[in-house]
């Protein structure tokens, strides 16, 4: 008889803001590239750990947002890390396709160079 997976970790032990949200940074587990930052509720943290599929909370739609559910650009969770203040998460992920809705690998695609903002990453082809 297979034992059910027991989650000893309780997402309620994290610190959420007044809206019940915690910021979550997604980082490519292999290259170390920072891909995006989005928000999670305690429920989203639990779902992400249970399913292994990164699930944020959409503040605009006020609902769970399984990353890549429509685009196919999912994030498989490799490891969830917690910071010293317990008010921020770092998600090491296996990113399928580009992370950004603009079709770029990362959402951080402009940089301040010589005092001006410059695009440093083009959308992925196709």
Backbone angles phi, psi at 11, to 5 degrees: -60, -20
Contact 125, 104 (CB under 8 A): no
| Strand, helix or coil for residue 42 | helix
**x/- map, 81-120, a copy of itself, by CB under 8 A:** xxxxx--x-x---------xxx-x--xxxxxxx-xxx--x
Residue 31 is a binding residue for a copy of itself (CB under 8 A): yes
Of 13, 16, 71, nearest in space to 40 by CA: 16
Closest separation in Å from C-beta 16 to a copy of itself: 14
Token pair of 78 as six digits: 């490799």
Q: Binding mask 45-84 vs a copy of itself (x if CB under 8 A, - otherwise)?
A: ----x-----------------------------xxxxxx
Give the binding-site size for a copy of itself (rule: CB under 8 A). Answer: 39
CA angle 38, 52, 32 (to 5 degrees): 60
Which residue ranges make up the site for a copy of itself (CB under 8 A)? 5-9, 23, 25, 27, 31-34, 36-37, 49, 79-85, 88, 90, 100-102, 104, 107-113, 115-117, 120
């Amino acid at each position: 008889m297979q034992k059910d997976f027991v989650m000893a970790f309780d997402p309620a032990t994290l610190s959420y803001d007044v809206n019940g949200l915690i910021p979550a940074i997604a980082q490519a587990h292999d290259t170390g590239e920072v891909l995006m930052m989005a928000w999670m509720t305690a429920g989203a943290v639990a779902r992400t750990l249970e399913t292994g599929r990164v699930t944020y909370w959409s503040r605009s739609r006020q609902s769970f947002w399984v990353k890549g559910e429509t685009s196919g650009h999912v994030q498989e969770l490799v490891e969830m890390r917690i910071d010293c203040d317990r008010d921020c998460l770092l998600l090491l992920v296996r990113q399928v396709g580009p992370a950004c809705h603009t079709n770029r690998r990362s959402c951080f695609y402009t940089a301040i160079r010589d005092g001006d903002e410059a695009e440093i990453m083009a959308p992925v082809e196709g």
